[in-house]
Amino acid sequence: MELVGVIENLKYRKFLRTKLLRKSVGNFADLDINALPPSCMLEVEGVTFALSKWVSPKRTRSYPYARVYDTLNVGAVKSVTVIPIVKDEGLRGDRDFLQWDTVSLMSLLNVYVIPAYYSQASRASKVGKVTSQKFDSRYVARKLEELKDYHASALHWNLKELSGENLEQLMDKVIYSYRRIEGETGVKMHSEEGLVGFMKRIVKGVEEFKEFSRSKAVGAQHREANTLQPKERIGTGRKAKITIRNYLGGYYYFTVDEVYRGNDMLHLVEAKHSKKRLHPSYNDIKDGLLKIILYSNLSGLWVSGKRVRFKPVLKLTSSLIKGVYRGEEITTFMSGKSRKSEEFFPYLIKEAEFNGFDLWLEGVND
C-alpha cells in the first residue's frame, strides 16, 4: 500500500528533555569537531548551533536519530548534524554509505547536514580493520562557518552539498584520505570502484528528487494513487510506502512500519521492539519519535486518491511482557519497575497527547 501526505508546517513540542552540554569556541579556526560530545550546543563567534555527530552513515548504529532528536527545538540558530559520507573499516570490516533517505528525513525536519569524511584512523587489534576514525576537523569547521551566514532552508543546503561539483570534491577527499589511511596503517581498504558507484547513486537520488518535485502536486498524487492496492485489501500491520510533500514543494519517500485500519481511522505506526527489556531503550524510542514528528505534522493523508482520517502511533513491544497498554495505562504498568521508567514514560505520554499521536505498549511472542 502507498500513501500520499502533505506537511504544510512543522510544529512539535518535546517533553523528553535531554540537557545538552554547552561548548564554546572562540573562533572556527580553533574548533575540533572530534573533541565535541555526540550532541551539544556549540557556541562559536556569536552563533549557537545545536550539533549532533554520527559515527557511521548507517542509521542502525549508535542511535544517531536519537542524537538528532535531542538537538531539535532547543533554541539554537540551526540544528546541524555531521555525517560521514562513507565509513570504511577496512577490507575485513564494513563499508557504509550515506543514504538519500537519511538526507530526505533531515531535510523535512529542517536539519542541516554536513556530509563529512574521515581523515585519520588507527590500526585495529583485529586483522584487516581500522578503528578510532576522526573527521577532518578543518573541513567541518569551514562548513559550519559557511552555515553561519546561510539563510536558506536545510533542504536547499542539503541539496547543494550533495550536488555536482560539491559532491565530486568531497568524494575526491574521501578517496585521498582512505588511500593515506591505508598507507599509514597498512590495512587494505575496500575497492575504490564502490565509491564511484555510490556517488552515482547519490546523484541519481538528488536528480530524481528535483525532477519529481517539479511535477504538479495533483498529477503526482494521481500517479501515486494509481499504484495502490484496492481499499478492501489494506492489511493489518503491513508495511506501506508513503510519499510526503512539504511546503517547499519537495517530495520525500519513506516506509511506514505498520498500517492499521479501524473505526474509520488509519493508524500510521512506527514500531520499536525489545527482546530483553520491558520496553525498547530510551534512545530507540527517541529514534522512533523522529518519524512520528513527520506523521504528526501531516495536514492531510490520501489513500487511492481519497482523503482519510489518520492517527500516528508509536508502538513499543517487548517479549518480556503480556497484554496491551495504552496511554496512561503504561504509567500504571511501569509503576515500581524502575525509577527511570517511572520518570520517563509520563513525559513521553504527555508528548504524545500534546502532539496528537498515540502511544502503545504491547507484549509479543518472538
Q: Say if CB 362 and CB 316 are below 8 A apart.
A: yes
Mean pLDDT (the chain, rounded): 88
Predicted pLDDT at 224: 35
| pLDDT above 90 for 227 | no
List, for residues 100-112, the tens digit of each pLDDT value: 889 989 999 999 9
With b for 16 or more beta-carbon neighbours within 10 A and e for fewer, the 148-164 pattern comes to eeeeebbbebbbebbee
Predicted pLDDT at 165: 83
Predicted pLDDT at 210: 66
pLDDT > 90 fraction of the chain, expressed in percent and rounded: 70
Predicted pLDDT at 305: 85
Chain position carrying cell 510526503: 244
CB atoms within 10 A of CB 174: 24
Residue 209's pLDDT band, with cuts at 50, 70 and 90, is: low
- Taking residues 78-96, what's their average pLDDT? 95
Predicted pLDDT at 222: 41
- Taking residues 18-36, what's their average pLDDT? 95
Predicted pLDDT at 363: 93
Predicted pLDDT at 20: 93
| pLDDT above 80 for 205 | no
Residue 223's pLDDT band, with cuts at 50, 70 and 90, is: very low
User: Which conformational region is residue 352 in: left (phi greater than 0), alpha (psi within -120 to 50 degrees), or beta?
Assistant: alpha
Among 46-60, 178-192, 241-255, where is mean pLDDT lowest? 241-255
| pLDDT above 80 for 207 | no
Predicted pLDDT at 2: 80
User: CA–CA distance from 103 to each of 29, 59, 154, 163 (Å)?
Assistant: 27, 11, 10, 12
**What is the length of the chain?**
366
Predicted pLDDT at 213: 56
In sequence order, which ranges of 186-281 are alpha helices (DSSP H)?
A: 193-213, 217-225
Among 18-22, 65-69, 288-292, 299-303, where is mean pLDDT lowest? 18-22
| pLDDT above 60 for 232 | no
Q: Say if CB 347 and CB 359 are below 8 A apart.
A: no
List, for residues 33-72, the tens digit of each pLDDT value: 999 999 999 999 999 999 999 999 988 778 999 999 999 9
| pLDDT above 70 for 339 | yes
Q: Say if CB 334 and CB 321 are below 8 A apart.
A: no
Residue 348's pLDDT band, with cuts at 50, 70 and 90, is: very high
| pLDDT above 90 for 25 | yes
CA 9 – CA 283 distance, rounded (Å): 26
Predicted pLDDT at 216: 36
Predicted pLDDT at 212: 62
CA 71 – CA 65 distance, rounded (Å): 10
Highest mean pLDDT: which range of 7-11, 204-208, 251-255: 7-11
pTM beyond cutoff 0.95: no
Predicted pLDDT at 226: 40
